[in-house]
Structure 1
Amino acid sequence: MPQFDPSSFISQLFWLAVTFVALYFLMSRIALPRIAEVLEERSERIADDLDRAENLRSEAETVITQYEAALTKARSEATSMIVGTQHDIDKTIEERTRDFDAQLGARLREAEERIGKAKSDALQQVRDIAVDITGDITTRLTGETPDSKAVAAAVDARMGGVPQ
């Protein structure tokens, strides 16, 4: 192997030094500054992104706080509306119940009056029929026509004084 030949060590070391200096010069003047610029741009972009993320996070927290406040306010308003509506409903139910009770009471009184009148009419008709039948029976049994007032008085006495 020629690289292990001691007679060519000096030339090999010379070219190693020349190549090293050339590569060092190229790297220090061209490649490394470009890499440094890219790294600096990246660090600036990362810092900007972090700042933007922090701003967005604080805005999001502000929006969440506003949302929660609006939600609390909406719930409070909804609760007060529900309470007001319930109060109105209770008031309406109470008024309608009173009206219904009044109508029902009036209808009940009318029905009781009609029943009382019907009962009175029925008793009067029963009395009249009893007076007629009693008069007819007395006529058939005795052959004489009895006095209608006497028959009516006898029927009234027996029926317990049904009014005429």
Structure 2
Amino acid sequence: MAQAQTNHATTEAPGGAHEDIGFPPFETETYAGQLLWLAITFVVLYTLLSRLVLPRLGGIIENRRAMIANDLDDAAAMKSRAEEAGTAYEAALAAAKGRAQALAQETRAKLSTESDANRKALEADLNQRLADAEATITSKKAEAMSHVDAIARDTASAIIERLTGKVPAPQKVEAALNQIKA
């Protein structure tokens, strides 16, 4: 079986010399330079932030704050206008309902008056027709009653002729009918 080969990474300096190199920030000889660059970097960053970035951020925040306040004021104004419009709508709706009810009442009264007038005219027409019909009936009845005597005379003569076989004298038939009426 083949032996496993392992590669070990070594930290050797070129040329095979083995020096112990440490992590540069932890080197005590470089502390002074590191602290100097830290101070320079801090001052530069602080200056950039305080002069450029922070005023822009402050302006953006202030703009947003003003925009939000403006939007809230606009929203409050719109809300009050909406409430006024709602109140005006309710008032207009109530007025329209009142007008509609008044118009309906007026129309109802007008139609009732017209209906009463039409009914009275129709009743008068019907009463007139009824009176005319009663007059016609009365005249027809009187006319029919005037013919009853002649019909009774003719009927009595026909019955007597049929029973006896002789035509009776008209005077005798008339006398008999007068006797029955009395």
Give the TM bin, normalised by the shorter chain: 0.7 to 0.9
In structure 1, the partner of 2:26 is 4
Query: Which structure is higher in helix share?
Result: 1
Deviation at 1:136, TM superposition (A): 4.8
Q: Residues of 2 paired with 1:43 and 1:3: CA distance?
A: 45
Query: Residues 80, 139 of structure 1: CA spacing in aligned structure 2 closer, same or farther, 3 A cutoff?
Result: same
Gap runs ≥5 in structure 1: none
Q: Which residue of the partner structure matches residue 115 of structure 1?
A: 137
Secondary structure, counterpart of 2:46 in structure 1: helix
Mapping for residues 34-53 of structure 1, pairs under 5 Å = 34-53=56-75
Q: What letter matches 1:68 in structure 2?
A: E
Using the TM superposition, give the Cα deviation of residue 133 of structure 1 relative to its aligned residue in structure 2, in angstroms.
3.2
**Taking CA–CA contacts closer than 8 Å with sequence separation of 6 or more, which of the two structures ends up with the larger relative contact order?**
1
Instruction: Calculate percent identity across the aligned residue pairs.
Output: 35
Deviations 1:82-128 (A, max 9, x none): 11111111111111111111111111111122222222333333331
RMSD of aligned alpha carbons: 2.3
Higher-Rg structure is 2
Give yes or no for contact 1:138–1:146 (8 Å, CA) kept in 2. Answer: no
| 1:146 and 2:169 matched | yes
Residue 33 (str. 1) matches residue 50 (str. 2): no
Q: Please say which of residues 17-26 and 90-99 is displaced more in the overlay.
A: 90-99
1:94 and 2:94 matched: no
Q: Give the number of aligned pairs.
A: 159
Change (3 A) 1:146 1:25: same
8 Å contact from structure 1 (residues 131, 151) kept in 2:
yes
What TM-score results when the alignment is normalised by the length of structure 1? Answer: 0.83
